[in-house]
Amino acid sequence: MARSGHPPLPAVVPVFAVPGTILLPGGALPLIVFEPRYLALIDDCLGEGRMLAMVQPRSEPGGPVSGLHAVGCVGRVTTFVETGDGRYLVTVTGMARFRLCGESDERAGYRRVIADYSPFSADLTARDESPIDRQPLLAVLRRYLTGHGMGADLAELEKADDTELTVRLALACPFTPDEKQALLEAADNAERCRLMTSLIQKELLAECVSTSIH
């Protein structure tokens, strides 16, 4: 299956696994690649449709593929720069989430998994236009950024449409790996927005408690 205008998605996809790093459909994720296995992954990816998957590692046992979360996102390498010191600078643009349903043979040190896109079929057919409750999110975000001396960063975000705002924040905010995974698996942007608002409120509360104690 593929979204209109996009190439078919692979049944077997190479995995780039970094804790605390997710990809969402429509999101653009910059990566600095330097590990030999992931350099090999990018080399192979560029010759095979430019597609790879971002899947977070996990330490808990269980799940369809050992050591990996059960849900990831396939993306396409949309920019690629080779540096002079052996690194690659790439941007991966998200296409569709998937559920891992097995593992294929390892290649050059990196893992490959079997992807089932059917649980997230809406990712393949249309842009998520679910209306979000953006004002509470922007309000807590304003408090958070101002408290960290980054208040100026909010102006550009306020200009973004609902989808861009939600996806950019989900990818960029310093949530824990488990929180990031919850954002990835959220049903739609509306649910993702509510979850981020709650997470930032929790962080603000923790900062207030820490300040009052000290």
Q: What percent of the chain has a predicted confidence (pLDDT) above 70?
A: 93
pLDDT in tens, 25-61: 999 999 999 999 999 999 999 999 999 999 999 988 8
CA distance to 2, 49, 125, 139, per residue, from 10 (Å):
10, 9, 16, 40
pLDDT in tens, 177-196: 999 999 999 999 999 999 99
Task: Give percent helix, percent strand, percent coil of the chain, each to the nearest 5.
Answer: 40, 25, 35
Q: What are phi and psi of 206, to 5 degrees?
A: -65, -35
Residue 1: pLDDT over 50 = no
pLDDT in tens, 194-213: 999 999 999 898 877 655 55
d(CA 124, CA 213): 49
CATH class given for the domain over 12-125: mainly beta
Mean pLDDT confidence for 111-135 = 92
Q: What percent of the chain has a predicted confidence (pLDDT) above 90?
A: 75
**Smallest Cα–Cα separation from 172: which of 194, 147, 154?**
154
**So where are the chain's domains?**
12-125, 134-213
Residue 78: pLDDT over 60 = yes
pTM of the model: 0.91
pLDDT band of 16, cuts 50, 70, 90: very high
d(CA 102, CA 112): 9
To the nearest 10°, report the CA torsion of 92, 58, 119, 16: 20
